[in-house]
Structure 1
């Protein structure tokens, strides 16, 4: 605020002179290669900004400093005082100067990404429709050059500048490979002048964007496409004139640039890092905002992060029944998301911030301050918006700090931008070009003034922020007040209001003194000249603001952070312990059979002993009296813990890997531990004859996807027969992809195995050829290095695949489903194939009409290694009861029936040396049951995996109470947030989609831009 009228008028004059110069000054950074028409403007944009707090960098601040710029660049910055010869001086006493922010992940100036047209039942598009010598897949757009398609958008540039951004690394947000980015400024001169760097980064994602091409339909398909593209690029660089592919050439040219990969969540970040590690690429990860959930794993990836500042809105949980559909995980995410950047910083992970996904640019400042309020320091925030992106993009010599020789790109604020809630940007200079946002002389009024007009007294109460403050004038008799017309220009105020009960308006005008009191002259309702004054009272202003302050929500964290960060997650990763289960009925699945009053000793993750009278040592003793102890249940055919199950676009998807899409956040892992399941084979679906590579996991609740994989397990792959693969039940639109008949399915196998055989011969002979991940996988089958689990129903097709296998010199490992196995059990036994079937499913589609509940027992009697599987998340929790159906239907002994869900699937998966029975030296995958394990009354009381107790029924009961208490606390916090004026969202539960063999993905998930 100004101290005297004279000083004020001088500064206003200087500012008006500055504005005059600003709007006439052109050619600060003239285009040297362009002709100049008209009279040449020789002004060089020479300015000295004095008496400001200059934030030179995140670690250096100058009080009462001077910043001098000329010809669009910084000439000097320091604490020098006094006049600068030839420079227009701008006195910024009380103001702050910051280097312009840099957006590392923008789409400014890019063409609109057009969504795919058409409907869900359109015929599949198998090949690219793009003209030219480009990639076979439209999701690979490596040839897209942001610099070539960039155009200035003045409206967007203005919004970016007003949020503090002077530079944007922009790229076209479309596709899996999105091409290269360009760094542009937010000045409004010409494209040639604002484009400061081409080829700034290569951008990637898992989303195929606007591509209508079917492949890929899944996350695992996108990952396979990326892997194959890396291999194709390597081959392309060595081939001699066999093929021209402009997409691969552009991909190759971009490999030395920063590789920026967009993901949706922390699990996708680890998936991207997995691909990068395979090809020695360290990605910069543009994250999903939930990194706080798995900081150790994210840090171990070595990735630098680009973090969004989009935070979930509070849930409107006013309706108690609507509140029930909001999950605990959603509530936790809402509460902790603002603190994500602070948590990342505390973990020592390098990061920067992006405005990507904000609904509007004006949301940035409130979101940034929300992150700071949640623990991010101003220094960390400034670095994440300036020096860090400048270093990543290779523009540190041009911008990022306010140092000599750098571009004159900075903005001016009235207060400390990061620590003051209502700090505002007044001017933004970009490449020496000034853009006024607010009047530099704008003054923020106090919240309340006592207005003396002649012999009358009023109270003026204000609300709103500087530049948009509103006033209500009240009296002793009118506490409601009337709205006043308020105008503030520099230090000059004008005020007009009509008090209730009076005939006309008071019109007042005046200036402020050193104490902030305004005074001057005006006219009363009768037009007489009067004197007036307005003195700050120290009041809190308009009651709406006061109420809002009173209703601010509680900032303390009331929710927990668990692994995974959903209900029943673990507060910390459990450790292997030593346990002695004493005096139980022990089902060994070994030659000892079922032992009464026996002990099982667990030490260091292994079974140390099985017998009677074992020495506990330091082990925790568990009383097994009246209880039954078994090895863990093994599900040979499962689709839990997956983000997708089918890559359905092609007849063969042998190149995709189910381990790429293991979902560590699936609550079904916990539920199945509660049913005694400890190992699951996660199979590809049945959308194509040759499916994807399976993943065998241990149900290590709370671990990452990679940590759940069964170490050293043999590799398997899913094949499929029947209705699904020939698409007879997919609708009339799906008459494009081969095969369309069961005969065609056989020919697919014949063709692919013949090609794989030829591929292997070329490899063995050392002939030069392109590496093909699909054929490499099939070659592993021919070499008995990978094993088939085949979805099957009818006897004719079962026979067909066995004959094909025998022709090519290998054996089918397992027929799964196989509801007509009883018809060909003798041939299966001769071939050496196992049968993993359902206990009693039948008649749910035409090709299973001849299924019988005696199927498992008959295969078992014929010498076929037989198991029962689930193929269903709910059934898997009761596989112990499913095994009993072999006793009911067919009279299988209890011991043999129990092996249908334990030892036999272990043998099918070639894991019986590790799991499937209780034997010293095997993995301590152990279940303590309350009753006979095949009884409908039996409950798994404790489930151990590798000697770690991942499920305990008593603890589960306690957790239910804890979860209810935590949910209530988070709901109360949500209600308080709404009451405090926070925006809210409608409650929407996240119902997990239960995946089955025929579950299809019609589009590939990802951000839409």
Structure 2
């Protein structure tokens, strides 16, 4: 053992000598040695595609000098014979927080506490604390011995680390995991730039929503560009200076889920940046869309635990999506690889880093090949961040970061014997220690019919003694070549046999004592040595293929209860012999046909012939209408209010569409086909709306109505002036209804000046522009200028007549029009003025008295406005009401004496007019979009139920298919529950189900930016 001990000390000393600390004086004798090591006769995996048998690795001064089968070994080299061992490149994690300061989270500003509108950060930095590109990870990095050792034991040799704090997070640093001074650990500073949708530890009120985070980052890109071109002459801004410097680096964007990948990529497209996305592990749910981005991913292995569903009531708190994700998450890396999406793997998000290898092997079991796994942990991360000239493979010139393993790296029997970091040796198990594993013929005294099986892996051996048919597990203590065993050979007689001995070649022998005190001799002769797995890194894939692959359920689009097994496709449809509500001059047609082709209404008439391949739908006794249009909705959004400022015109609801929201499907079942997704009413000027078709199963961008005009939400009343928010919050201007008016005058005056400045600049010649300072692009004022230029239109939350008059007056004085007053519950008082201004009204049928400013509402409001010449629609503003908008329209017949056709137009053609989409939607006419609903009864009847809901010629809801989906959902839940029960019985760790009520958004709801995705819980169980 003396030789082994000295070799280890020598290796450590020479490794130290390889680090010539020229800038740090030493207290003692200088020992400068070349740090020359040769590892011979090894199986060397140079990179995932190159394996050399019986090869040599030569390193000098912490770097690889040569690798191959004919390497010449210089004199003075320390040589280690690694016959039977393997050498792999050390793993690389490019999404680490190793060595970064712990984040100090304080109580956030905003919400119901005292808001913080200005940044608390001192110095010439950005106005918003969440934008901190000046953070230099290399300057704040501090080596951590405990963390480094934890990662080294897993096989990592280097990481790219940065602080995970803020929306713009600064740069990262490449460091090794050596236990050394930071000067000797940092390899390269400023490796990559980092971004996210989370404002992190910022206590500033803005942003308080995911869409605000998007807007803030977009504005920062524009500010940085302006600062680079002209802004330095106006102000000094260290944050924008740093932001510009980061643009030459690879950009990494951390997102909360698969839809976040698409959201981040959209920002990248706007600014010409191809982000590397740090994802959440659920990308398989939107694989086609994610592949289409053309980006690369950094993927965690944080697979969820099974839920403890033994209690039936607890099981009801687990959604189908959660159950299916538990089952399918391990398949995510393999599915990404099969789809050709480049990705690196990371330890980030693991509850315990020790789960890394078990989760990785599980991913391999579910379809990821070993070569793909090694690629994702070595060459790909190095290439993504352009550090492949330092780490990621075992090529000459790279850092001497490598692993010495007992077996195939991905084998469950493998042990990482040594991890060499920049030429420094870290020993985790003596590579020269004998392998005790195998089957032995065991003799104890006069008993010779025994077998001793030693299995497991080096460093964690398992023992079992076979005595006739009995299987006995002894207690074993092993120290170097000495062994002691305690065995209960005969349970009937009782007592413990104690044996002590040593290893001599392949034989174990020694002396012991039986339970009765009699001394015995014992021996164990090796009969069959332990068989290691194949030597090449990916050959066990063949063996794995012979095993039964884990079974898991099918994908759903979207990945929630009532999702589709396949995305619905457009069809040629002929709906025959129905009562057709045209909303045109033809009125209601009886026994009529409607032909749908290529997503459009092709013909309307009687006796139409069915084209070849058309699906014929019998409409006898049924009513066919166009789809309901909800002018005021808050479904399918991650949040609805950015209330951090009086104006949030810069935010876009299109940035936070949640296409997985079960309310989309529920509203299809109520005949709704189109919704305007509005910002809430937390501020005078809200955000830009999104007009979507409820295409259940499609991704967010595919829900948007292409070519639709832009709209924006304004608000009046109690919410805007924060009347009900509590005294601590009453800081933000405005605090009165008078102040609201001044907000509009101020912002539109600024928007006019801004617009004029850009028009003047754009009219300049190239020579004039070269001398001029360009205006600063302001995404908030862009939206307001679009209103002035009649390119964006206002939907205003309103109640009392005085404020309704006020906004029309402001609009008239500043030269723009209000498009729609929504809620408008006192509209009947000012209907004549509304008609004169040309503004429409989108109202409730009979909601009133739910707060003071609604006390004068009456159920005749819609009818009275309509009779005054106002275009009137009836909206929901509520996920549940939207399912019954046909009945809300019927109330106009009951309360106001409106005809059935005109009442029906209030939820179809009139909202289409208000949204400027009546040339495409709202009636059944040749050439219009085929957005249709087939009802079993008069659509205004309480008995009416949609049998089919069609959007652009595609059936997105079918009552018969709905019954099948419910049965399938119940069966799938039952299957998964049984699988989880089996997993728990088999010893799997479980998590307790947590009840979470689905968030149904309303105008006044505010959600923090940190909680993105948390509020949307799929309830279609």
Out of 662, 670, 676, which is 2:665 matched to?
Answer: 670
- Alignment-derived partner of residue 549 in structure 1: none
Out of 277, 288, 292, which is 1:285 matched to?
Answer: 277
Q: CA deviation at 1:189?
A: 1.7
Residue pair 2:476, 2:483 contacting (<8 A) in 1 also: no
- Alignment-derived partner of residue 709 in structure 1: 704
Question: Equivalent residues in 2 for 1:67-146 (5 A)?
Answer: 67-80=57-70, 85-117=75-107, 121-146=112-137
Q: CA deviation at 1:472?
A: 6.2
Out of 389, 408, 411, which is 1:397 matched to?
Answer: 389
- Alignment-derived partner of residue 986 in structure 1: 992
Q: Does 1:336 align with 2:296?
A: no
Residue pair 1:181, 1:200 contacting (<8 A) in 2 also: yes
Rounded Cα–Cα distance in structure 2 between residues aligned with 1:647 and 1:61? 55
Q: CA deviation at 1:31?
A: 2.4
Residue pair 2:625, 2:932 contacting (<8 A) in 1 also: yes
- Alignment-derived partner of residue 592 in structure 2: 598
Rounded Cα–Cα distance in structure 2 between residues aligned with 1:578 and 1:324? 40
- Alignment-derived partner of residue 578 in structure 2: 584
Q: Does 1:323 align with 2:315?
A: yes
Residue pair 1:140, 1:177 contacting (<8 A) in 2 also: yes
Q: SS of the counterpart of 1:653?
A: coil
Alignment size in residue pairs: 979
Deviation sequence 1:592-615 (CA, Å, 0-9, x none): 001111111111111111121112
Question: Equivalent residues in 2 for 1:260-299 (5 A)?
Answer: 260-299=252-291
Rounded Cα–Cα distance in structure 2 between residues aligned with 1:175 and 1:112? 14
Q: Is the alpha carbon distance of 1:337 and 1:496 closer, same or farther for their aligned partners in structure 2, counting shifts above 3 Å? A: same
Rounded Cα–Cα distance in structure 2 between residues aligned with 1:528 and 1:408? 54
Q: CA deviation at 1:454?
A: 2.2
Deviation sequence 1:670-726 (CA, Å, 0-9, x none): 111111101000000000000000000011111111111001111000000010010
Residue pair 1:486, 1:496 contacting (<8 A) in 2 also: no
Q: Is the alpha carbon distance of 1:70 and 1:13 closer, same or farther for their aligned partners in structure 2, counting shifts above 3 Å? A: farther
Out of 495, 503, 510, which is 1:521 matched to?
Answer: 510
Q: CA deviation at 1:492?
A: 5.2
Q: Does 1:235 align with 2:226?
A: yes
Rounded Cα–Cα distance in structure 1 between residues aligned with 2:526 and 2:309? 44
- Alignment-derived partner of residue 348 in structure 1: 340
Residue pair 1:902, 1:916 contacting (<8 A) in 2 also: yes
Range 820-829 or range 78-87, more displaced: 78-87
Q: CA deviation at 1:27?
A: 2.5
- Alignment-derived partner of residue 17 in structure 1: 6
Question: Equivalent residues in 2 for 1:746-825 (5 A)?
Answer: 746-766=741-761, 768-825=774-831
Deviation sequence 1:351-375 (CA, Å, 0-9, x none): 1111101122221111111111111
Q: SS of the counterpart of 2:960?
A: helix
Q: Does 1:199 align with 2:190?
A: yes
Question: Equivalent residues in 2 for 1:54-69 (5 A)?
Answer: 54-69=44-59
Residue pair 1:652, 1:689 contacting (<8 A) in 2 also: yes
- Alignment-derived partner of residue 300 in structure 2: 308
Rounded Cα–Cα distance in structure 2 between residues aligned with 1:343 and 1:717? 40
Deviation sequence 1:724-770 (CA, Å, 0-9, x none): 01001111111111111111111111111111111122122227321
Range 520-529 or range 398-407, more displaced: 520-529
- Alignment-derived partner of residue 44 in structure 1: 34
Range 466-475 or range 947-956, more displaced: 466-475
Residue pair 1:473, 1:484 contacting (<8 A) in 2 also: no
Q: Does 1:969 align with 2:975?
A: yes
Range 976-985 or range 723-732, more displaced: 976-985
- Alignment-derived partner of residue 551 in structure 2: 557
Rounded Cα–Cα distance in structure 1 between residues aligned with 2:82 and 2:151? 23
- Alignment-derived partner of residue 647 in structure 2: 652
- Alignment-derived partner of residue 221 in structure 1: 212
Q: Does 1:406 align with 2:398?
A: yes
Q: CA deviation at 1:383?
A: 1.1
Q: Does 1:149 align with 2:133?
A: no
Q: CA deviation at 1:946?
A: 0.4
- Alignment-derived partner of residue 3 in structure 1: none
Out of 895, 898, 903, which is 2:904 matched to?
Answer: 898
Rounded Cα–Cα distance in structure 2 between residues aligned with 1:254 and 1:199? 8
Rounded Cα–Cα distance in structure 2 between residues aligned with 1:48 and 1:909? 74
Rounded Cα–Cα distance in structure 1 between residues aligned with 2:66 and 2:703? 57
Q: SS of the counterpart of 2:191?
A: coil
Q: CA deviation at 1:480?
A: 8.0
Rounded Cα–Cα distance in structure 2 between residues aligned with 1:1006 and 1:929? 37
Rounded Cα–Cα distance in structure 2 between residues aligned with 1:567 and 1:286? 27
Q: CA deviation at 1:244?
A: 0.7
Residue pair 2:415, 2:457 contacting (<8 A) in 1 also: no
- Alignment-derived partner of residue 921 in structure 1: 927
Q: Is the alpha carbon distance of 1:46 and 1:783 closer, same or farther for their aligned partners in structure 2, counting shifts above 3 Å? A: same
Q: CA deviation at 1:391?
A: 1.5
- Alignment-derived partner of residue 952 in structure 2: 946
Rounded Cα–Cα distance in structure 2 between residues aligned with 1:1003 and 1:620? 46
Q: CA deviation at 1:327?
A: 1.3
Q: Is the alpha carbon distance of 1:504 and 1:784 closer, same or farther for their aligned partners in structure 2, counting shifts above 3 Å? A: closer
Q: Is the alpha carbon distance of 1:793 and 1:449 closer, same or farther for their aligned partners in structure 2, counting shifts above 3 Å? A: farther
Rounded Cα–Cα distance in structure 2 between residues aligned with 1:1004 and 1:93? 53
Q: CA deviation at 1:94?
A: 1.7
Rounded Cα–Cα distance in structure 2 between residues aligned with 1:796 and 1:304? 55
Q: CA deviation at 1:423?
A: 1.2
- Alignment-derived partner of residue 615 in structure 2: 620
- Alignment-derived partner of residue 21 in structure 2: 31
Deviation sequence 1:16-40 (CA, Å, 0-9, x none): 3321213433221222333333111
Question: Equivalent residues in 2 for 1:333-732 (5 A)?
Answer: 333-418=325-410, 420-442=411-433, 445-446=436-437, 450-456=441-447, 460=452, 465-469=457-461, 471=463, 483-489=474-480, 493-496=483-486, 506-511=498-503, 513=505, 518-524=507-513, 530-533=521-524, 535=526, 556-618=550-612, 619-732=614-727
Across the aligned residues of Structure 1 and Structure 2, the Cα RMSD in angstroms comes to 2.3
Rounded Cα–Cα distance in structure 1 between residues aligned with 2:817 and 2:394? 70
Q: Is the alpha carbon distance of 1:570 and 1:1006 closer, same or farther for their aligned partners in structure 2, counting shifts above 3 Å? A: closer
Deviation sequence 1:186-211 (CA, Å, 0-9, x none): 01121111100000000000000000
TM-score normalised by the chain length of structure 2: 0.93
Rounded Cα–Cα distance in structure 2 between residues aligned with 1:508 and 1:23? 35
Residue pair 2:440, 2:524 contacting (<8 A) in 1 also: no
Rounded Cα–Cα distance in structure 2 between residues aligned with 1:804 and 1:654? 17
Residue pair 1:654, 1:777 contacting (<8 A) in 2 also: yes
Residue pair 2:937, 2:945 contacting (<8 A) in 1 also: yes
Q: Is the alpha carbon distance of 1:368 and 1:757 closer, same or farther for their aligned partners in structure 2, counting shifts above 3 Å? A: same
Q: CA deviation at 1:82?
A: 9.6
Q: Is the alpha carbon distance of 1:353 and 1:512 closer, same or farther for their aligned partners in structure 2, counting shifts above 3 Å? A: farther
Q: SS of the counterpart of 1:878?
A: helix
Residue pair 1:726, 1:740 contacting (<8 A) in 2 also: yes
Q: CA deviation at 1:1007?
A: 11
Q: Is the alpha carbon distance of 1:556 and 1:495 closer, same or farther for their aligned partners in structure 2, counting shifts above 3 Å? A: closer
Q: SS of the counterpart of 1:607?
A: strand
Rounded Cα–Cα distance in structure 2 between residues aligned with 1:651 and 1:264? 28
Unaligned runs of 5+ in 2: 532-546, 762-772, 1015-1021
Rounded Cα–Cα distance in structure 2 between residues aligned with 1:318 and 1:463? 35
Q: Is the alpha carbon distance of 1:504 and 1:580 closer, same or farther for their aligned partners in structure 2, counting shifts above 3 Å? A: closer
Q: CA deviation at 1:617?
A: 2.2
Q: SS of the counterpart of 2:676?
A: strand
Residue pair 2:137, 2:161 contacting (<8 A) in 1 also: yes
Deviation sequence 1:846-875 (CA, Å, 0-9, x none): 110111111111111111111100001111
Q: SS of the counterpart of 1:201?
A: strand
Unaligned runs of 5+ in 1: 1-11, 541-552
